[in-house]
Structure 1
Amino acid sequence: MEKIALLLSLFSVFTVNAQFSFTDDFESYAVGDYIATADTLWVVWPAAGAEDVQVTDNNAFSGSNSIYLNSTAATGGGPQDVVLEFGELFDEGDFMFSANFYVNNNTGGYFNFQAETTIGETWSMDCFMNDDGSIEFSTGGGGTVFLESTYPFDTWFNLTMNINLTLNHWQVIIDNQTVGTFENTINQVASFNLYPLSGNQYYIDDVSVSHEPFNPVGINAILSDLNVPSYVQFPADIDISGTVLNYGAETIESMDIVWTDGTDTYTDNITGVSIATLETYDFTHSDQLSFTAADTANITVSIENINSGTDVDDSNNSLSSEIYSVEFVAQRLPLYEHFTSNTCGPCASFNPGFQTLLDANDVNQIGNAKVACIKYQVNWPGTGDQSFNEDVGTRVSHYGVSGVPSAHIDGTTTSSSQDEIDEHRNMPSFLDITATAVATDGTDLAVDVSVSSYYDYPNTKTHIAVVENVYNNTAGSNGETEFHQVMRKMLPSANGTSADLSNGNTTTVFESYTFAMGNVTQNSFRIWEDLSNCVVIVFVEDQGTKEVLDSRVFEITGNTTVTPTWECQATGCVDPGTGEGEYSTLADCEAQCVSDITFWNAIDIKLMPNPAQDNFSIELNPSSQNVLVSIYSITGKRVSEFDYGSLQGKQTIPMNISTLQSGIYTVKIQLDNEVSVHKLIKK
């Protein structure tokens, strides 16, 4: 066996008619040779220095030689870093890559395709062979995952990719079995890069790469898309629609579009069209498919008699689909649950593009949304995002999130792509989710949910999330200042409400909560602006699989704004965000606040220790005032109250909180008619 490099051209090397072919089984090298030193097409990564790969005879698929890549680096990867240059950029035609890999047990492997002839500018695709036996094909360093599958350890396996760059059709084959296809967001290749990531150990043999330019001939029509639903709610009349692509050299001027359900056949004669090479034609057949009851139809759609001639390849002229008519089916609304933080550097890079994708799908827009989104601001990796609270922590634990950014769509890991959204939207929903969300006095929110099931989902949870549309916050460390679709509270909590949604069952959930506005701090459920800036998202989750079965976004109606009020605190006049401050105008508060501050400075209140375990003390210095101490949970419920009567002089009041659950509490200390409010953390 030998290394072969072939370049063929009708005119000159690397013209549009050029063919490129390269194979390397590493038998032409001596053991110990560095391949980039010995060959002209293999090079080292430009910024990598002398990080070539040596030929070894320790393991091989064919012959006796292969190359071995491994990395013991604590982070990143290397030292090996070699590139097979194709000599030009390919963005049309048929590209084929094949190689045999051997990955040591529980280690992994990696390669990528570069998208530009200048190495290091753009990655068109990454292939991660992970240490758990999973393999993923992605772009953006794994940010957008196109396809996932598995591969074996400690044995040779073949990986082949057949890529039609003209049609943006990337096919992956492992050991002669097709594992999937995808469309790539960066549909071009210019070189192949081998680089072991940290912990990787793998051999590679029999590398083969080829490219044939697009060369249309004769009549070659492709039925590229069939646009029919999988499920419909009867009675229904269904359009049979699709797309024809001209992949041949001859302009398509006429054709027959035929569909059959196995019993009846319907034909449309299409004339007077002019479909040039690589142009498409969208059609809707004049005959519909009708359902009057529960049923299943197996239809096949074909294009025939193209230009009254013969198609050079009629294997791609027909598509089939199975359509079910059922009592109830709804348009599914995919739900992204995205974990992020304003202390996370990679989040600042990922989030703008992700938000662009969401906005393109009318995220969380009442009645128009093609996707819903709930973002959870976590309290790491830095000192903590101000929007973190207990409900965020529960969802982090639920999915086992250990790094951010991390997005999930309908309970599964995500590629964050339009194709993914479209795929999930095409999944049927057999849940009828309705809800009302009504605000009173700008603070009190009541949510009434009803979910009816037309399929067997016996082990579900209904979740209610109050999500803030947008707010500004400059307190983070990663440069982000504007935040969208951020969860502020889940009702009654992030644990949701269990329900048996077997076929025919209906569950109802009623929850209410009193919010405060502004002055958001970590571990609080306060709203950054007001309830008019929020929506309610209801989603139903399978408790066993964690799949989100469907979601809906609801408007908050009623009185959604809070009347500003003020109360005097030690730092000055503050709007508590509840509408219940002592003063109705800032001027009134400021007129009284100076004397109040003097009063409280004289009292000199301290809570020690804070945070506290089972006990804490209140130190104060009253002057013949009646002292009343009240403790409130984060939901506003009073959990303890103590009346100490009239006290004078320096006092230390012991408080026992051993019966309270861990969390954040508000301690109100009232001296006659004056009230001082403090935050207490119970460990």
Structure 2
Amino acid sequence: MNILGLRIKFGLSSSLNTHIDLITKMKKHLLTTLSLFLAMVAYGQCPTGETEVTFELVLDRYGSEITWEITGQGGSPVYQSGGPYTDEASNASFPQPDLVFCVPDGTILEVTIDDSFGDGMCCQWGAGSWALSVGGTELASGSEFEDTDGATLVIGGTDLGIVSSGVPSIAAAGNVTISGTVQNFGTEAISSFTLDYSIDNGTPVQQVFGTSVPVGGTAPFSFTTPWAATGGSYVVDIDLSGVSGDLISVNNSLSQDVSIASQIGTRLPLLEQFTSSTCNPCFTLNNTSGFVDMLEALSPNSQSNPEIAVIKYQYDFPGVGDHAYNAEVGDRVFGFYFSGSIGIPEVLVDADLSPNSFALTSSDILDYQDKPAVIDISATHTIVNGNEITVDVTVDPYVSVNATLQIALVEKHYDATNASSFSNGETEFFHIFRKLISGSNGTSVNLTADNQYTTQKSYTATINPNLPAQGSFDFHAGSELEVVVFIQGPGPERIIYNSAISTGSSQLTGLTDYTDNLAIGVYPNPVTSEQLSVVVDSKGSDDAVMTITDIKGAVVLTQSLGKFISGVNRRTVDVNNLTTGVYNVNVLTSGHMHSKRIIVQK
């Protein structure tokens, strides 16, 4: 050692060297132990008696709609929560950092995912999803839902639950198989379980299932002893037992209402299509992919031997301008089938949404003919004076149900070659929806098994030789009328019990005549003042009534214009209460309807 220029030499005994080696080894051991401890902390390992849980979240474009929390049973304590998030500029998937946390063993964990808009996390705006896992095994997940999704799980413990029944809510008399699915909601594998089923609290039928259900897994079950069902309404109860340490009791039972038909009718499948003349994929489906040709080969809406019933709803999306859109189309799309955003084209067969409209085949559609029909429907109709439609409906129910009767008035075909507003290139349209006789809500019917139900409904149609104004329920002059009758249950199943094609006259002519647009003038247009001048070249001398409707067909103003002379008539109308938008001015006089579209700019 050199200190202040002095050279000093130390000598160490062998005993001291031994102690230094020991200290060095102890230091290395302590450093190794510390490194292992830090690694444990870094990887989130939990103390004894707790289990590590991982929550994964992938957002779609609209993260601001998503909030979530993971809690103990009943909402407390809150282990993790999140949202709302920031919206993104484009449609895509946006993974969030995984969350890893510890939960005491034996905890009943509740996962709740909320979407404020009500369209879930997948798939139009991006493939969003959520998942909860333990030890790399996924216990629960979700993506496609409406307002709320979630799960109840057992962490560090055992739970098996019944998650679904395979018993149809309506079935034919005879042997009915009792089946369903169980799911492992715990973190321990299950090797066997016992199930019982009973009908109306009768003698239970028990069976032991030696089926292994892995952590996070599901397993089907099917009783070997069927239910010998006869016509009537019943309650089927399925109960689970035989799982040692099962912690959640509320998922051990499933109760289901089942109706057994006294006989089976003949089913006519109903295909409903949501489409638009402003939608490019709709053109591709209908024309390039041959969807129209495929449907026409099935004799849709034919009064003799139809294989399917078809209703096509022309929607005002993704661009405005489809003149066949009206408020009842909007009600059918969002008021009944969908609660949030949809992508079109969409096709449903007997209320089942096709996962891929472009892959739907005629065989797929005709398979629905084999589903038991527990209601038979027949209908006839007449047309008086060319536009006064009366429909008589007879329903023969073989089960007791509360449902809705709908009578849809449909145009068989129209050609709109000269319509420049159809941006996707379509010019021919088939089986186009125009009106539900009883409105969007239909007619509520309480059907009793084996008691025939009859009703009569009427509607006066308006005939328009030009393109009907968007929002109206007008028919084209010379249209062939198709009347589709169907009975449907409420949500969420929205069961189509059956449908039928009414037989009767198909030609609409009508007393109400839309004259050439040259017979009416409106000034100024666009409307920028409080007054609107209306000039009509009347074909006769009669009282005149003016109605102004908005783009959805709702009447916003009705006013008498007094008695018109045969010839040119001028009137001034106060339109101060009209807000900015597009409207139709309609003047009815001498049996003729004169219409003109106006644009109000304020």
TM-score normalised by length of structure 2: 0.49
Larger radius of gyration: 2
